Amino acid sequence: MTMSRVLSLCLGAVLLAGPALADDSRWRDCRTCHAVEAPSGDVIVRGGRSGPNLYGIANRPLAADSGFRFYSDDLRAAGATGARWTEENFVSYLAAPDQFLRAMTGNPNAESGMHVALRSGGRELFQWLRGLSN
């Protein structure tokens, strides 16, 4: 499973912020592959390790979690453009992942491998994730 697929499953399912996030049934798909864990080791939201830790994703360069080695080639190519997970990029990626990667890379065949698109709630999710690292 590619990082973008994992990210999609996680981010596409989560719409709530705060402590309720971990208890929300929509987090089940996300936590299969993702955790939200602070650099101190404090677990904010328990989850799997087959996807990157989502802590600190806000404003981080695409495909740049040094602790995660399984990003898709297309997401790595998008990251090579210097793009960051800004709020706009984050929301655009979640709403139409393949189209986002195609625009970023210029590759008309770029694919994210995501199964889920999040057409609403991405801003709230980004703000929640950004707030964790402030």
Which domains can be identified in the chain, with CATH numbers?
A: 3-132 (1.10.760.10)
Residue 19: per-residue pLDDT = 45
* Under 8 Å between Cβ of 72 and 79: no
Written as tens digits, the pLDDT of the chain (134 aa) is 554 444 444 544 443 344 455 444 445 566 777 788 999 999 988 888 877 888 999 999 999 988 888 889 999 999 999 999 999 998 998 889 899 999 999 999 999 866 667 777 778 878 888 888 76
Q: How far is CA 14 from CA 27, 52, 106, 110, in A?
A: 6, 16, 29, 25
Please tell me whether the overall predicted TM-score, pTM, comes out greater than 0.85 for this model.
no
Q: Which neighbouring-strand residues pair with 14?
A: none
Residue 42: per-residue pLDDT = 93
